[in-house]
Structure 1
Amino acid sequence: MGNVTHLFTTRQQLLIHLHMPKTGGTTLKKIIKKNYGKRKSVDVYVDREKLSYVLTNLSKRNIDCIQGHMPFGVHQFFNQPGSYVTMLRDPVDRVLSDYYFIRSLPSHNLHSKVIKMSLEEYQKDPVNSNLQTHYILGEKFGEMLTKEDLEKAKSNLIHHFSVAGITERFDESISLMKKYWGWNNISYTKANVTKGRLSKEEISRGIIDQIETNNVFDIELYHFAKELLEEKIRLLNIH
């Protein structure tokens, strides 16, 4: 387990919210906006091939916070020091939530594709495997990952994330972020909750086993992030 490398951040740092899909990130985004305001907080939800262009332009502006479905590496576009926050989720639950969410939302850009797919077909797609590790690594989307990639993702969590929260421990994660970033208001109501999804217990054991096999790096990264979070909770006496 790595040491906690920094205790508190300051407003001189750029807050980068790496909004991990289907982990409670929309709720976190709303909390952050309440503490930064619309003028100092910018949302970036664009296709990955357009991201460099958008970030290059944003780097010329005076902003305090940037949020979006952006992989690790955003800080490299800015001169000011930056630190990340994110939420990670039990990988099986995240895949299930993502699948049923896309199917329930006709306006989603993947709806027409995913509505024709079974859960088994969806979870087999390499694009949907180890997504959290890909985001924290910041590269190799849709490609096979290696053990070295996983270790690099772990290192990124240690050295570049003030808090990597855990969806299943949302309140404690947000309380940590409040302490690190000096937020005033962390009240919330859950946003973007997937409706009509089946629970783990309602899915066949065979498919659950497949999801676990196809997300083995995400599972290890998730448990590593939980240990990091628990270390910080103990250190700062969060209840």
Structure 2
Amino acid sequence: MPQENLYVFNHVPKTAGTAFKKFLSSNVASGRFLDIIHPNKEEVGRVIEACDLSDYDWICANFHNEQIARVRELSGRRLKIVTILRDPVERGLSLYRFIKNKKTHALYEMVSRLSLTEFVSSTDLTRQLSEYYPLGSGEGVLRPRSNFWSTTSSWSALRRKWTER
């Protein structure tokens, strides 16, 4: 019989989520932990649809809100949603360095040619990043926003911090 609650870890990249998932995988009963690792949101949705969610106590992925709602519907269980947040400036710097140094990242070709100022100023990149890395909060669930950076002041702070290094 499945637990009453299903725990959903909505992994926001560059927020120590990988370390948290390692902790979970070593502390959750074997076979009761589903880690959906896929950069393509549609694939995350297909995995959710194909799984018997009653087999799991924890499900981890970088979810869209609609996918979390679908997990709730398919599981018939009460969801407990966990997310780790990070200072947005530090997260932005980390993301910039991560993409620039990971040739297999989907945005590497674009980002590898950009300065930090161009990175935080690019409206085309902002749209693409918001698909990969949802931000914003409400009702306990992270929500994608139209802009990757929360405010213009975050951009300025990011630029200042970068030039101080």
1:26 matched residue in structure 2? 18
Kindly state the Cα deviation for residue 107 of structure 1 after the two structures are TM-superposed.
Answer: 2.4
Show the counterpart of 2:136. 133
Alignment of structure 1 residues 24-103 onto 2, 5 Å = 24-46=16-38, 47-59=40-52, 61-73=54-66, 74=68, 75-76=71-72, 77-103=74-100
Distance 1:120 1:134, change over 3 A: farther
1:170 is aligned to: none
Gaps (5+ residues) in structure 1? 1-10, 146-198, 206-239
- 8 Å contact 1:23–1:87 — kept in the other structure? yes
After TM superposition, the score normalised by the length of structure 2 is 0.70
Is structure 2 residue 108 aligned with structure 1 residue 111? Answer: yes
The one-letter amino acid of 2:27's match is N
Aligned counterparts of 2:160 and 2:20: Cα–Cα separation in 1: 27
Tell me how large the CA RMSD over aligned residues is: 2.9
Name the amino acid aligned to 2:99. Answer: I
The CA distance in 1 between the partners of 2:47 and 2:137, in whole Å, is 21
Question: Aligned letter for 1:34?
Answer: S
Stretch deviating more after TM superposition (78-87 or 50-59): 50-59
Kept in 1: contact 2:134–2:142 (CA 8 A): no
- Judged with a 3 Å threshold, the aligned counterparts in structure 2 of structure 1 residues 113 and 200 are, in CA distance, closer, same or farther, namely closer
Partner SS for 1:132: coil
2:119 alignment partner in structure 1: 122
Name the structure 2 match of 1:12.
Answer: 4
Q: Percent identity?
A: 26
Pick 1 or 2: higher relative contact order, CA cutoff 8 A, min separation 6. 1
Partners of 2:103 and 2:25 in 1: CA distance? 27
TM-score by length of 1: 0.50
Paired letter, 1:203: W
Q: CA deviation at 1:115?
A: 0.8
